Structures are given as structure tokens and as C-alpha cells.
Structure 1
């Protein structure tokens, strides 16, 4: 049985009118351990939906496997919190990677990731500019992301992201972890062989360097966020040819890199 993505709890809510006991909706927190060929790779704290997509997106974006077809079989044990994956086409550096984990800047340090100094060099630069957005498009798509964020409206405890192309929003995902939401998007695209040409990304949270690299590996030309990018993310976006747009709120926004794609 799949775990629930939300739960309810009786709380005391205070306001200027006083206090009252109410039922509140809370985002669930689920510990998922990825096991490859019987060995534990890592444990991430996530929202328990689209678990297969999450695992596939993580493994490919981190370079542990090259493509979805590298996985021979995959099985989720919801009760124990494991996803069992078998593959005979792992990155040759896999054994070394297991010894070089470190905490990323993900929310609360909920996952340990494999991030390399040469990641930017190994990530292909996006040279094409097939995506062009008008300023009003940036506001429109960000409003669309926020309006579709039902679990966030209920709990206030998740991040939201969406993949778009010129026809509109292709799919959206949410998770308590920013990285997880993006891996769910990427994993779904890989498993269903969706075209990633001419895509851009909507994001509710901070654009960190890890998020920027994941967007680059997907092939997104633009990243739109209601929050801020970090200095390293801006540097990487400049190097990799990605347009970064932040602070999309109150009828204004900032374009940090490659402004040619906006307006």
C-alpha cells in the first residue's frame, strides 16, 4: 500500500479573535532508500509519490547511470521504504562515488548527493535559443504554477516545479525537497520518452547550483523562479547558456543571465 502524501492533525490556531482547535493538513515526510544490485546507495527524504520517477531522475541526473534503459528491473517496497534497482551498466566510478558523499544545500540536508567539481565541464552547453518568452509570459506561467499547487495550498510545506514548452505546461510535480521535485519531472520524461527540445522550467524555490545543473542536464533553456538564484548558479548558467529569471512576483522580475530569450 502506497503511503499518503498528506496527513491531518488536530492543532490550536491563534488569531486576533482568539484560539480554536482545528484539523490541519500536513505534508508527509517519507524516507526512501535506493538500493542498487542489493547495496544501499543513499537515503533521501521525500514526498511519497512518483517514487520510480524520482529514483530514475536522480540516478541519471547524478550520472550513476546514463539512461533509463540501463535499468534491468525496478521494484518499490513501500512498507520498508526501499526501491530495489538492478543494473549492469553503472558508472565505472560508482564504487568511488559511494565514498565521496556530502551534504548539498537541499532543504534541511535531506539528501546526500554526488556532486563533482567537473560537473559544469561534463554538462553540455545549451547553444540554441529556440525558446523565446515575453515578459508577460513569465508572469503567466508563474501564476499557472502557483494556481496548480494544490498540495502547497493545503499544507504550505512543499516545493513545486513544472516543465513547459511553447504549447504550455507539460507536467508539474511537488515534493518537500526541491531537488526531488525536479528529479520526478526528469524521471517521468525519461521513462515515457518525452521530447525535451525547446523546454523551460518553472520553479517555486531557490535556484541553487545543483538545481541549475539538473536543469541543464534536462536541456531546459530557461529557468523561471519566484525566488532567488545563488552566485554559483548564476556563474554556471552563464557558462552553460541558460537564461535564469528570479523574483517573479509583484509584477516585476530579474533576469540574471542570457536575457536574449526574454522579450
Structure 2
């Protein structure tokens, strides 16, 4: 089954609204501002967490969060996901009861925007993880970067938001946005799980920093390559090297920096054919990273 690419819809009236103010000259000005609302996630009858989100794709976010926290295993059968818009609650239901109490006893606040939360041992599941050695051609990086940076999005309209895209070759399969990049990644994970999308030949592209949380989530999803226009944290690099994740940051114009997993790179791009960095995009990106 061929899936239609899932792309942002900046015209969705639920996700942003105009607010009146004044500019640097004291002149009236109207700007679109991103919405932010709570979503409480349940696993069966157990309340897990309340996340701040823009409110789109709550089912993907709830499922992806539980998967990336290790609260759902491959052996768990998801029987349904119920979302109540009025109560702002998403309930993920499984065929059999799950035991999440141990994870709820220990949680770590992460460096993600909008304050990400990781339950239990952050490194759980990474000890024996082996990522596929799928090669990645550097020529695809430049094409994907251009596609993503020029796709109509809430990021382009409002700022104050992060985007994450799941890519295969030169194709963007799913592009999610949220106030926290951890939410955007969780939405991707939920979308992949519900649609049976494999991970071994995929690339994850994010607009945000390459933190430990981003590296852990990407690795646990089984995606071997993570790319960003932004920079790295040292712990993120350490974890990427531990699990063999290809980690590429500072992807701007002709340039990028790879600090882990260089063995997957196939240098097939003629850099003389790559345009210089779009200064308008660079300024906008610097404002919102």
C-alpha cells in the first residue's frame, strides 16, 4: 500500500490565530500565533502524562509517546485509540493490561522545548540495540533540506514551533510539527506504527537541536540517520556513537557536520551544483531554534 505523504496544513484554523499588536514603529500589526493546549494521555485506565501540544494528530502523539517511552512493547496489541476533544484526553487501549507503575515512579525532565519528559531509565532499550547499516547518499540531504525548508508549514507562518520529517530517499513521507520537537517525533512514531511503516531505510530530519532525547527516540524507532539544521549536545553525540546512529547537524547550504555514523555516508554530491544557504531561511531558523 502506497501512503499519501502527510504534510503540514498551515491553513488549519485550529492550530493558530491572529493576535493584534504593534510593531517597532508603534504601528498596528496582526500576527499569526501558534495555539498551545494540553493533551492528557492514558494507557488503558492509567493516566500517564499531560503534554502541551498544538492539538493536531492527538492519536499519533499519544501512541508514539507510549512507544518511545517503552510503555508499549512489540507484544502489546493496540485495540484502539479514543480521543475526546472536549476533555482533551487521548486513551490508548490494549488487548491486555500493561504494567507501567515502575516507569511512573521515575521520570526525567529533558532539554526539549515545552519541557519533554522521559519516564523510567532514559537509556533503557539501547544496550543491545543494533541499527541497520543502510547507506545514505549525501545528494539526498540537499534535496530533502530544500524540500522541507520550502514546504508550507506552521513554522514558516508563525515560528515558535519545531518540525520533524520522516524521509525515504528523496521523498518526504510524513512531516509533523509541534511546540516541542519531542512531540513531533512522537507523532511520527505513532504514524509509523499505525501504518506499518518500516524504519530501516528511513532518515529523520528535524529543525531542532540534536539532544540526547532526540537521539534516543530516533534510535529506539530503529531509524539509522538523524539530520538537523541546528547543532548538537555532547551527550547526544555520545549516545549516537554508542548505538551507531548517523548524526548530522548544522545542515545549511553546502555544509553539514557528521559526528557519528560516518560509515553510512556515500559522498555523491557535486557541491558546485548546490546553491548557497538561503539567508532568509537562515535568519528565520535562527529565531526559532
Task: Provide the TM-score with structure 2 as the length reference.
Answer: 0.82
1:3, distance to aligned residue in structure 2 (A):
8.2
1:39, distance to aligned residue in structure 2 (A):
2.8
Aligned pair in 2 of structure 1 residues 197, 250: CA closer, same or farther (>3 Å)? Answer: closer
Contact 1:131 1:261 in 2 (8 A): yes
Contact 2:199 2:223 in 1 (8 A): yes
Question: Could you say which residue in structure 2 is the equivalent of 1:119?
Answer: 124
**Aligned pair partner of 2:173 in 164, 170, 173:** 170
SS in 1 for 2:40: strand
1:91, distance to aligned residue in structure 2 (A):
4.8
SS in 2 for 1:198: coil
Question: Could you say which residue in structure 2 is the equivalent of 1:227?
Answer: 230
Question: Could you say which residue in structure 1 is the equivalent of 2:135?
Answer: 131
1:198, distance to aligned residue in structure 2 (A):
0.7
Aligned pair in 2 of structure 1 residues 164, 60: CA closer, same or farther (>3 Å)? Answer: same
1:88, distance to aligned residue in structure 2 (A):
5.0
Distance 2:42 2:238 in 1: 34
Aligned pair in 2 of structure 1 residues 141, 115: CA closer, same or farther (>3 Å)? Answer: farther
**Aligned pair partner of 2:150 in 144, 147, 152:** 147
Count of equivalent residues = 255
Question: Could you say which residue in structure 1 is the equivalent of 2:14?
Answer: 4
1:196, distance to aligned residue in structure 2 (A):
2.1
**Aligned pair partner of 1:62 in 69, 81, 95:** 69
SS in 2 for 1:57: helix
Question: Could you say which residue in structure 2 is the equivalent of 1:105?
Answer: 111
Distance 1:68 1:21 in 2: 57
Show structure 2 runs of 5+ residues with no match: 1-11, 268-289
Contact 2:106 2:121 in 1 (8 A): no
Distance 1:117 1:166 in 2: 30
What do the CA deviations read for 1:217-240 (whole angstroms, capped 9, x no partner)? 222111110011211111111111
**Aligned pair partner of 1:87 in 94, 99, 106:** 94
Distance 1:182 1:241 in 2: 19
Show structure 1 runs of 5+ residues with no match: none
| Two-structure CA RMSD over aligned residues (Å) | 2.1
Task: Provide the TM-score with structure 1 as the length reference.
Answer: 0.89
Contact 1:65 1:90 in 2 (8 A): no
Aligned pair in 2 of structure 1 residues 123, 89: CA closer, same or farther (>3 Å)? Answer: farther
1:125, distance to aligned residue in structure 2 (A):
1.8
Distance 1:211 1:77 in 2: 29
